[in-house]
Structure 1
Amino acid sequence: MEIEFAPLQLLPMLVFGVLYWLRNRSLTSTPTWRKWCFYAGLVLMALTLSSPLAVLSEELFWAHMLEHLLIADLGALLIVLGLTGPVLAPLLRAVPWLRVFGHPVVALVAWTVNFYVWHLPALYQGAVSNDAVHALQHMLFVSFGIAMWMALLGPLPKPAWFGNGWKIGYILAIRMIGSVLANALLWSSAVLYPQYARGQAEHGISAANDQSAAGAIMMVEGSIVTILLFGWLFLKAARESEERQELQELAAARGVEMPADRIARAVSAGRGDALRERILSTAGLD
């Protein structure tokens, strides 16, 4: 079984993996599960780009779509789950403008533009026929995929209004944007990417069926990820509600004046433990 070797795409992963490992050597705060997520994301991308699927992606559109979903959606998601504020600190000091992608509107718009521009027939087929363009396509898909998930799950500061309700809307917006293309592929009778004609003929599949399969894969993958994210949001909301109540009761019991909105902001930002320590230290000074 033939496999692909794409050094232009695999080398950046190796570099980022080494940098992540070196950074965590000087940190003790990164949870083990986050490290596993980060490395799992890199491994998923590397295996996808060097597997028979990578070879098949040059012959069939549905395989190329599956490849992109694995690296730019699932792989990017795992990468973001592996990141923390301390891990990102050196990068953000060197490139401070990256913080803008913590804003959900910026991240969503950038991801959407990149997503649709690269699915224009001329660019998409150009990536299939040119290794350098293909590497650039994958790099941008992964980069903007990371930015898109970063605004939802990452450690960068987020707007105060971006609570759980808006996060549900953000997830739905992502899936609706993807569903427009998925439905176009699923039901269109026009051949959007004739570059695959030779591969489709060799594998005995029509262009229409190839495109429909790609659209169906997008719909199924998107539905599964959306259900999992909704489950995560539900559990997160329940945990945050319980943590807010505990902090309010602790502050009241220790005689520390602590506004409810401040507690809510701290919990939402994942800094509930730091606020708890502050309440206890403040109470100790009284």
Structure 2
Amino acid sequence: MTGTLAAATFEFAPLQIAPGLASAGLYARRCATLAGTPRAVPRERQVAFYAGVAVILTVLVSPLAGLSDELFWAHMVEHLVIADLGALLIVLGLTGPLLAPVLRIPVFDRLRVLAHPLVALPLWAIDLYAWHVPVLHVAAVHHDGLHALQHLCFIFFGANVWMCLFGPLPMPSWFGTGWKAGYILGVRLVGAALANALLFGGGAFYHVYAAGEAAHGISAEGDQVVAGSVMMVEESLLTIGLFCWLFLRAARQSDERQELLDLAAARGVDLTPERAARAVAAGRAGELRARIERGPGAGPTPQA
């Protein structure tokens, strides 16, 4: 496979790279507007966003992009990188103030419902499976415009599914650690079902790669098995990483919540465990700590 990838050439697909460049430009402009204010975008978040865009654009112009038209496993690697890693990094680069101008537009504000956990996961699953229906998958391989749309859908719905775990939009109060664990498991099961179908489906689903498979000396069934194996391994590693993150996050939030309660008790500030938990979950522990330190007369504690 290494030799196969080395033999491929770099691609230039304006339809594929234009959205990424445009989003990076808009992001940079908004970061410049917020710079020097209390709402400035932290540097680590900017690094995450630009890294996500760079990962996506690199994959779309690399030899892997050309090879993805010839081999199904290469197409699978391309999609996993842009839809999982690239989309995740982009979400990690977002903040509330950064998105504020977009969310003030009525139509986009109404679209916030798409990031609800009970909506985001089904939409992601539908998108994933729809583009692997043979007729749509083959059409995307043959038509550049549809292929670009396929990638945009993978990135959008991938980012949307990660928004519930890492994004700045407020989530329902019930969406705590236990529900997040179930959400991660749901993502894992959806991906695993498709990977198992590719591995044990009883034959090749896509014959659009026949010429490329013959040129690279791999059967259609073997190509599909490699693709399913890649997806299974990537999904497993991603799930392990997400569960580790969730465990560490829960432990950190528990410590932050207790520190706030102890500080409030020491300063004579009325603070309930529920309010402390909401502030920590919303990322406003620092603001709450500052108000507690100013004492009982500093005004009401922030609500999540």
Q: TM-score range by the shorter chain?
A: over 0.9
Q: Within 5 Å, give how 1:156-195 maps onto structure 2.
A: 156-195=169-208
User: What amino acid is aligned across from residue 86 of structure 1 in structure 2?
Assistant: P
Counterpart position of 2:4: none
Report the alpha carbon displacement of residue 284 of structure 1 after superposing the two structures with TM.
4.6
**Residue 67, structure 1, aligned to residue 74, structure 2:** no
Counterpart position of 2:22: 15
Q: For the residues of structure 1 that align with 2:263 and 2:112, how far apart are their CA atoms?
A: 33
Report the alpha carbon displacement of residue 99 of structure 1 after superposing the two structures with TM.
1.6
Q: Secondary structure of the equivalent of 1:5?
A: coil
Q: Secondary structure of the equivalent of 1:194?
A: coil
User: What amino acid is aligned across from residue 110 of structure 1 in structure 2?
Assistant: L
**Residue 26, structure 1, aligned to residue 33, structure 2:** yes
**Residue 135, structure 1, aligned to residue 148, structure 2:** yes
Q: Relative to structure 2, which stretch is displaced further, 4-13 or 270-279?
A: 270-279
Report the alpha carbon displacement of residue 189 of structure 1 after superposing the two structures with TM.
2.4
Contact kept, 8 Å, 1:188 with 1:208, in 2: the verdict is: no
Q: Please point out which of 274, 279, 290 is paired with 1:277.
A: 290
Contact kept, 8 Å, 1:5 with 1:50, in 2: the verdict is: yes
Counterpart position of 1:47: 58
Aligned length in residues: 286
Q: Please point out which of 244, 249, 266 is paired with 1:236.
A: 249
Q: Please point out which of 137, 152, 156 is paired with 1:124.
A: 137
Unmatched segments (≥5 aa) in structure 2: 1-7, 300-304
User: What amino acid is aligned across from residue 98 of structure 2 in structure 1?
Assistant: V
User: What amino acid is aligned across from residue 272 of structure 1 in structure 2?
Assistant: A
Q: For the residues of structure 2 that align with 1:102 and 1:252, how far apart are their CA atoms?
A: 37
Q: For the residues of structure 2 that align with 1:154 and 1:45, how far apart are their CA atoms?
A: 19
Report the alpha carbon displacement of residue 157 of structure 1 after superposing the two structures with TM.
0.5
Q: For the residues of structure 1 that align with 2:74 and 2:298, how far apart are their CA atoms?
A: 63
Over aligned residue pairs, what C-alpha RMSD do you find? 1.2
Q: For the residues of structure 2 that align with 1:228 and 1:27, how far apart are their CA atoms?
A: 32
Counterpart position of 2:97: 86
Unmatched segments (≥5 aa) in structure 1: none
**Residue 199, structure 1, aligned to residue 185, structure 2:** no
Counterpart position of 1:106: 119
Give identity over the alignment, percent: 57
Q: Deviations over 1:183-228 (max 9, x none)?
A: 1111222220111111111111001110000000001111111111
Report the alpha carbon displacement of residue 154 of structure 1 after superposing the two structures with TM.
0.4
Q: What TM-score results when the alignment is normalised by the length of structure 1?
A: 0.97
Q: For the residues of structure 2 that align with 1:205 and 1:52, how far apart are their CA atoms?
A: 19
Q: Within 5 Å, give how 1:248-267 maps onto structure 2.
A: 248-267=261-280
